[in-house]
Structure 1
Amino acid sequence: MAFTLATWNINSVRLREALVSRLLTEEMPDVLCLQECKSPVEKMPLETFRALGYTHIIARGQKGYNGVAILSKLPITDVGDRDFAQLGHARHIAGQLENGVTIHNFYVPAGGDKPDREINEKFGQKLDYLTEMRDWFRSEKPEKAILVGDLNIAPREDDVWNHKQLLKIVSHTPIEVEHLAQAQEAGGWVDITRQDLPEGLLYSWWSYRSSDWDAADKGRRLDHVWATQDIANSGHSSRILRAVRGWEQPSDHAPVFASFDL
């Protein structure tokens, strides 16, 4: 079974319903995982996506914040969610395809502006979230699984526009990178994007604050596609659709794609 999967922080699925529809129409991934939907499930424009052939949908939402959804052309079974760090946030959902592959869709907390949990509660929540991810993967070792989402960390030096300048900026601090690495190692996860594209600068997020994001190109790779070691070799054709960041009224994230032959 071959399928293509995409992950995209949409930054309000209701506001950007047309952009999601455009991506589904033009790129036609078999599965699209969305984060930061910012809507209760009952108010998400799911009928629009069903009309485009994405008739299998799993979602968790809340008003104004967070929210995750999996839109699929392929039959997929809801296999639950976890409230990491007991935040009460809709930040994780999992679905299982008929071939037995479990897809985890994550939206890790951004962590606020200051990389110090003593003065910034949100940064502490982010670290606690990642720690619970690590502990879960250690206690229930994932198999035949794919993890995608906005993990809000750019782990490698070439995942940011300037490694030295961003070492004290939330999303690229050494403590965040270490916490993410521990979670990745605990689950035996393979970074599929970097397996396919091992060298060079690679970004999936560009700030709204830049007057010309494309020319400045001060990006970070915050969005990821991982797979467990038992299926990692089946992953291929990774790409980030940078052009989507330039669509009208865009999300500040671009979709990340990968294909799997299983």
Structure 2
Amino acid sequence: MADTLSICSWNINSVRARIDIVEQLLRLEAPDILCLQETKVVNETFPTEMFRRMGYVHQVLNGQRMHHGVAIMSKVPVHEDDRFDWQANGEARHVGVRLDNGVRIENVYVPAGGDIPDREVNPKFGQKMDFLERMIEWSSALDKQPAILTGDFNIAPLECDVWSHKQLLNVVSHTPGECDILARLQASNDWVDIGRHFHPAPARLYTWWSYRAKDWAESDRGRRLDHMWMTKDVADKAVSHRVVEPARSWIKPSDHIPIITEFAF
């Protein structure tokens, strides 16, 4: 294991459709480990060769045709390939590995939850909340394992994590119920939100802007949906955390941007 290690997480919204900007990120930032969400490709047709050419020879895939999908691409060895079915329906929304130093990395893609924050009229919202309840059960059972939990959580938990708290109170991703359940998940293993550790509230720290905006940067109606949490022993090794906001303007962008944490192990 190198003295320093950088881990990047990015909801790419189809890795094959945006392979050019993935390569652009790898050339610019060269993270040691890249956790991708919403890859939208089965394992057999994942574009592995570009990653291999760039030095990411350790590849752990959990794909699904046209929907969901997660992957961990690494320059350093990874072990213990796990896939938890927190959706309880076989959807490819998690992949986990262990580094040589014993740190676990859990890469997760939480369901978006549809448009209406009511499980009675919108089953997708109920599925999202149930997914998070299963994550809480898992997290609560962890026994002092050094771990990193990262990915697209599809919840912006703090008032300052959205462009307008008042206007988004009833919008899925920032409703009180979602914020409460994410707080319970964080408390279940005393996870450190490394984004807010390095950029304390109320600092602006968005990771997602809708495609619907004519000019995403000018309107700046962002939300912090992508997160990197870690146990305190791992957080103590973190030296920086940042977002790659220019990526939202790259050619054929994802609506999410990469987040990167660097560690000194």
Superposed pair shares fold, TM > 0.5: yes
Which residue identity is paired with 1:140? Answer: L
Aligned Cα root-mean-square deviation (Å): 0.9
Whether the aligned pair in 1 keeps the contact of 2:242 and 2:260 (CA below 8 Å) is yes
TM-score between both structures, scaled by the size of structure 2: 0.97
Cα distance in 2 for residues equivalent to 1:114 and 1:142: 37
| Partner residue in 2 for 1:228 | 231
Whether the aligned pair in 1 keeps the contact of 2:35 and 2:107 (CA below 8 Å) is yes
Q: How many residues align?
A: 262
Q: What stretches of structure 1 of length at least 5 have no aligned partner?
A: none
Whether the aligned pair in 2 keeps the contact of 1:143 and 1:230 (CA below 8 Å) is no
Does 1:79 find its partner at 2:48? Answer: no
Cα distance in 1 for residues equivalent to 2:50 and 2:21: 12
**Cα displacement string for residues 215-259 of structure 1 (whole angstroms, at most 9, x for unaligned residues):** 000000000011112221111211111100000100000000111
How high is the sequence identity, in percent, across the aligned residues? Answer: 50
Cα distance in 1 for residues equivalent to 2:6 and 2:40: 25
| Partner residue in 2 for 1:107 | 109
Which residue identity is paired with 1:248? Answer: I
| Partner residue in 1 for 2:257 | 254
Determine which of 232, 241, 244 is the counterpart of 1:241. 244
Determine which of 30, 33, 55 is the counterpart of 2:32. 30
Deviates more, 1:124-133 or 1:76-85: 76-85
Determine which of 205, 214, 220 is the counterpart of 1:211. 214
| Partner residue in 1 for 2:14 | 12
**Cα displacement string for residues 170-229 of structure 1 (whole angstroms, at most 9, x for unaligned residues):** 000010011111111112210011101113121000000001111000000000011112
Q: Secondary structure at the match of 2:236?
A: helix
| Partner residue in 2 for 1:48 | 50
Does 1:132 find its partner at 2:122? Answer: no
Whether the aligned pair in 1 keeps the contact of 2:238 and 2:263 (CA below 8 Å) is yes
**Cα displacement string for residues 25-66 of structure 1 (whole angstroms, at most 9, x for unaligned residues):** 111000010000000011110111111100001110010000
Cα distance in 2 for residues equivalent to 1:78 and 1:206: 34
Cα distance in 1 for residues equivalent to 2:50 and 2:133: 37
Cα distance in 2 for residues equivalent to 1:62 and 1:142: 32
| Partner residue in 1 for 2:99 | 97
Give the superposition deviation at 1:2. Answer: 1.7
TM-score between both structures, scaled by the size of structure 1: 0.98
Give the superposition deviation at 1:139. Answer: 2.1
| Partner residue in 2 for 1:62 | 64
Determine which of 175, 179, 184 is the counterpart of 1:173. 175
Q: Secondary structure at the match of 1:226?
A: strand
Cα distance in 2 for residues equivalent to 1:50 and 1:5: 17
Give the superposition deviation at 1:142. Answer: 5.3
Deviates more, 1:235-244 or 1:78-87: 78-87
Cα distance in 1 for residues equivalent to 2:136 and 2:143: 10
Whether the aligned pair in 2 keeps the contact of 1:9 and 1:251 (CA below 8 Å) is yes
Which residue identity is paired with 1:233? Answer: D
| Partner residue in 2 for 1:148 | 150
Q: What stretches of structure 2 of length at least 5 have no aligned partner?
A: none
Give the superposition deviation at 1:88. Answer: 1.3
